[in-house]
Structure 1
Amino acid sequence: MTASTTDIPMQPDPENPMTTASVSDVKIDREALDRSISEFAGPNADYYARSFHKIHDSTGIIPRVFNWAAAVFGPFWAAARGIWGVFWAFIILEIIAFVQIGRGSWGQLGADQMARAQAQEARAQEFLNRATEATAAGEDGSRFETLGNNLMRAAERSRETAEAAAADATMILISGIVMLVFLRVVQGLWANVVYEKQYSRWRVDPASVPSGMKLQNILLGAALGLVIIPLTVYRFTVEGVSEWITDFPANPDHYSDTARWLEAVIDNAATSGSGMFDGIVLMVRQVLDAISVALIGTPWPVVMAVIVVIAWRSAGPRVAIFTAAALAYIAFLGYWEIAMETVALVGAAVVLCIVMGIPLGIWFGKSRRAYSFAEPVLDLMQTLPAFVYLIPIIAFFGTGNPPGILATIIFGMPPVIRLTALGMRGVPENIKEAATAFGATRWQLLKDVELPLALPSIMAGVNQTILMCLSMVVIISLIGGGGLGQVILEALQFAAKGPGLLGGFAILFVAMVIDRIVQGAFRRADQK
């Protein structure tokens, strides 16, 4: 096969009419392309080379290529070729078709209604016999006769329903066959198109895109099909399915034994580490007490004025006006003291999250190995339901505000760690190399180059941590935490709609004030 050449005439330059564009030759080496397709496809390489050429030359929506192997073997062809997305999509659709075929062939449609009709007829016959015996004995048997006639009519309706369901078996069978044939035709039409797209991805990245027909893919696809299709069809087409298919054979003793083992482990850890846990609670309580004295012990006009001035200086006059209105709402409804307690709880949690989270984020941003070990822990901290945190927190630290802050730290620390690490990894390497070339030490590189460039991501992490800590206010009230969360908890206990909504709006305003101040401070720092 020789290389073909396509001549594409160039248009004259509109800006310089006197210049005549030369003719440019675009050469396509068919032999090299066919060798590449052969290396990718493996078996039947000539067929796929011809098909790919037709796809490239086609201008229609559906290229005129049909893959009989994909039409005959269906999703198993996709598995053999490593196209696992097509395999899973069509095996699920074909299972539906096989279930319809099974229901129409041996599904015994209406068997449950027929069994009910037979049971109703037997029960009706018993009532009619009792009516006959009562009449023979000179008693009134009309009650039994009425019950028997009613049950007989119900049995007739059940029998009609069963017969109607059985009559639909043929249509269900035909619909399943039509659906299966349609799916196989669709796979035959689009198999080469999908495979050509995989070939295009393979040319860009041969290491990560599957190619050829591999034995392990064939065996895996066959094993999956033999497990998934028969069991699913059996489950939905056969009456009286075995319990080992519908119910997992779990032993209840495993649950109880594991639960008792976990309780023993937690109790032993709480007893042996009581000194350490008490020390942690004492440290958290000191931070909380310091913030509480500053917010609650100080006269409220001073605290309100300071917060409004901070909002003005950090985010501008609009945020200051909003802050003043939000604080006025809180104070007017008598929520001032408990709102400041909420701010103290959140502030203590945020301070501890930032103090511990940013250094960890810097470390994880610089060390891929450390981040790979920490990532599952961060995933666990973010995905575990918040209520689950309270169980070990109560066991190790008791109840009250300090344990609530510790639960809030677990819930709120992952964002600042992740976004700090993301910001550190996003610093361009050429900038760090330039700073190092000019004699910057590792500390100077971190302080003057990496942290300033990573600051937007770090501040976004701080913002997310603040909001997530505020979202824990209501939850920590379940273990004795104070603040506005206690108001919401009491409203839930007594279904008090008014107090609950007013307390919820107070939490909302506290969150919005903190968020606006932090965001405004970041924007102003970024503008400077």
Structure 2
Amino acid sequence: MSEVIVTAADEIEVDHNALDGSVARFSGRNGRYYAAVFRRIHESSAPFPLTFNSAAAVLGPLWAAMRGAWGAFWGFLILETLALVQIGRGLWGDLGSDLATRAESQLARAASFLEQATAAKQAGQDPTRFEKMAENLGRAGERSLEAAVAASADATTILLFGIMLFLGLRIVQGGSANIIYEKQYSRWRIDPQHTESGIRPRNLILGVLLFAAISPLTIYKFAVANPPKLLSEFPAQRSHFSAVATWIEARIDAAAMAGAGTFDSIVTGVRSVLNALTVTLIGTPWPVVMLVICVVAWRSAGPRIAIFTAVCIAYIAFFGYWELAMETVALVGAAVFICVLLGIPLGIWFGKSERAYRAAEPILDLMQTLPAFVYLIPIVAFFGTGNPPGILATIIFGMPPVIRLTALGVRGVPESIKEAAMAFGASRWRLLRDVEVPLALPSIMTGVNQTILMCLSMVVIISLIGGGGLGKVILEALQYAAKGPGIMGGIAILFVAMVMDRIVQGAFRRDQRK
């Protein structure tokens, strides 16, 4: 007895009239054509159904612009511009002009050396040196002439390649246009407000303007032998740069003089935190510090991390990096302490206030994206050199992660849980302390972890402005190209980072298990 297998697709009944009407509303013109094509695409089991859109093949990127398919417009515009550049090079490009000019110069110099050889003979001197140089330059000139002739002969090949590439791209556009447009139709059915549909003259005009602004200039730049300098260099004026740079420098100097007392107070506060950590880590006998670190690793993260910590410390101590490593830990510890002390409250505030977060977001973006070498300049101008300014630069670089992730964690607390806590009489402070912060703790600790690692990445940069620690080892290795000491110092920095990271992560995971 034969069995009849009915698939889920067979059981689905499609209202083709409603679907055709939807496609017609989406496409505007040629609604029947696109309804038939989309139906064929839907019914086809092939990954790329074979359809051809003659309008897309003729108009190229302009069809995509007219239909609002901007991704296809930009992709095919760039590819067609490359093809048109090859056509322009084949038609108007003097491909062998540079080589011909070089050959002419070489042959002229060869003739000059021959004249010097003749003069040397007449003067009774040995002309061998001049004759040899003339012979070498003559051979080089002949090779350059041959290369120029070969390059000129390649113009036809480049022209044919450009034409074939252009026609191939148009065929590809015609074959892929319906598939691209069907995907746009699918997005339109989900979100009609934010997906373009139909033919819009505004889009066509914009596409024409973009095409006219991009392709002709690009073709002219690469096809003409000596294009205008304006196409290669922006007409900037050095006087504007000097005036703005001088103004900025004067403002920074004035601000440094006006706020000298404030800046000195900040440096004093940072130095006090750093001195406390330095005395604790370096002033205390090294066996005590080693033992305490291993015990903290054991109690926080378990015996495996304790053994790993002991191995890392042994490497650091055995190769004479102990004091430098402890100075590095003090620098990073001071920076992390200030980052966490300021970052977590700010993150909580930004997590609860959307307006405050929007106001601070550009500043956080600036702190993370601006290269460290850029803001080292005002740091040195305002705070001088040494470890405290280095810590301030590290704070600028390392604070954004803990702020962002704390805000993210606070925002991620479900509203239902907060409403339940408020229903049971929890005050806003109690809600924050007993509900929001504990639930946001995974995100907060991830931010702390990222801050630690980012602060450690600044160790070498701190050494550029007079900071100490293991960064000095790397800086000296770079200055004297000392490969061995540089690699050994880098491994020491790696071990310090890994120990701090494993201890913090282990402590957090153990608290989570409890």
TM range (shorter): over 0.9
Match of 2:51 in 1: 65
Distance verdict in 2 for CA 1:334–1:140, change over 3 Å: closer
Instruction: Map residues 241-390 of structure 1 onto 2, 5 A cutoff.
Output: 241-390=227-376
- Given residue 196 of structure 2, which amino acid in structure 1 is its aligned partner? P
| Structure-2 separation of matches of 1:206 and 1:441 | 44
Choose which of 93, 106, 126 in structure 2 pairs with 1:107: 93
Distance verdict in 2 for CA 1:139–1:507, change over 3 Å: closer
| Structure-1 separation of matches of 2:459 and 2:127 | 70
| Structure-2 separation of matches of 1:217 and 1:502 | 60
| Structure-1 separation of matches of 2:289 and 2:470 | 18
- Given residue 297 of structure 2, which amino acid in structure 1 is its aligned partner? A
1:491 matched to 2:477: yes
Single out whichever of 453-462 and 109-118 deviates more from structure 2: 109-118
Q: Secondary structure at the match of 1:27?
A: coil
Distance verdict in 2 for CA 1:394–1:216, change over 3 Å: same
Q: Displacement of 1:352 after TM fit?
A: 0.4
| Structure-2 separation of matches of 1:437 and 1:62 | 57
1:190 matched to 2:162: no
Distance verdict in 2 for CA 1:494–1:157, change over 3 Å: closer
For structure 2, the residue ranges without an aligned partner over 5 or more in a row are none
| Structure-1 separation of matches of 2:262 and 2:435 | 38
Distance verdict in 2 for CA 1:141–1:356, change over 3 Å: closer
Match of 2:74 in 1: 88
1:450 matched to 2:432: no
Q: Displacement of 1:52 after TM fit?
A: 0.9
- Given residue 515 of structure 1, which amino acid in structure 2 is its aligned partner? D
Q: Displacement of 1:106 after TM fit?
A: 1.4
Distance verdict in 2 for CA 1:440–1:178, change over 3 Å: same
Tell whether the 8 Å contact from 1:123 to 1:151 is kept in structure 2 after alignment. yes
- Given residue 148 of structure 2, which amino acid in structure 1 is its aligned partner? A
Tell whether the 8 Å contact from 1:10 to 1:24 is kept in structure 2 after alignment. no
Q: Displacement of 1:63 after TM fit?
A: 2.4
Q: TM-score, normalised by structure 2?
A: 0.92
Tell whether the 8 Å contact from 2:297 to 2:503 is kept in structure 1 after alignment. yes
| Structure-2 separation of matches of 1:419 and 1:455 | 10
1:214 matched to 2:227: no
- Given residue 337 of structure 2, which amino acid in structure 1 is its aligned partner? V
1:525 matched to 2:502: no
Aligned length: 511
Match of 1:15 in 2: none
Map Cα deviations across residues 496-518 of structure 1 (whole Å, 9 max, x no partner): 44433333332222211111110
1:414 matched to 2:394: no
Taking only aligned residues, the RMSD between alpha carbons, in angstroms, comes to: 2.7
**Larger RCO (CA under 8 A, 6+ residues apart):** 2
Q: TM-score, normalised by structure 1?
A: 0.90
Q: Secondary structure at the match of 2:13?
A: strand
Match of 1:430 in 2: 416
Match of 2:16 in 1: 30
| Structure-2 separation of matches of 1:486 and 1:136 | 67
Map Cα deviations across residues 193-233 of structure 1 (whole Å, 9 max, x no partner): 01000110111111222222222221221111111101111
| Structure-1 separation of matches of 2:13 and 2:345 | 57
| Structure-1 separation of matches of 2:471 and 2:121 | 74
Distance verdict in 2 for CA 1:400–1:11, change over 3 Å: same
Tell whether the 8 Å contact from 1:79 to 1:221 is kept in structure 2 after alignment. yes
Q: Secondary structure at the match of 1:108?
A: coil
Map Cα deviations across residues 465-500 of structure 1 (whole Å, 9 max, x no partner): 111111212211221212222233333333444433
| Structure-2 separation of matches of 1:209 and 1:43 | 17
Map Cα deviations across residues 439-478 of structure 1 (whole Å, 9 max, x no partner): 2222222111111111111101101111111121221122
Q: Secondary structure at the match of 1:168?
A: helix
Map Cα deviations across residues 380-425 of structure 1 (whole Å, 9 max, x no partner): 2112222222211110011111111101101111111111112122
Q: Secondary structure at the match of 2:51?
A: coil
Map Cα deviations across residues 234-279 of structure 1 (whole Å, 9 max, x no partner): 1111011100001111101111111111111110111111111111
Q: Displacement of 1:130 after TM fit?
A: 7.3
Q: Secondary structure at the match of 1:59?
A: coil
Tell whether the 8 Å contact from 2:28 to 2:199 is kept in structure 1 after alignment. yes
Distance verdict in 2 for CA 1:122–1:479, change over 3 Å: closer
| Structure-2 separation of matches of 1:295 and 1:223 | 66
Choose which of 377, 380, 383 in structure 2 pairs with 1:397: 383
| Structure-2 separation of matches of 1:480 and 1:141 | 61
Choose which of 442, 461, 468 in structure 2 pairs with 1:482: 468
Distance verdict in 2 for CA 1:287–1:125, change over 3 Å: closer
Match of 1:440 in 2: 426
For structure 1, the residue ranges without an aligned partner over 5 or more in a row are 1-8, 13-22
Distance verdict in 2 for CA 1:146–1:345, change over 3 Å: closer
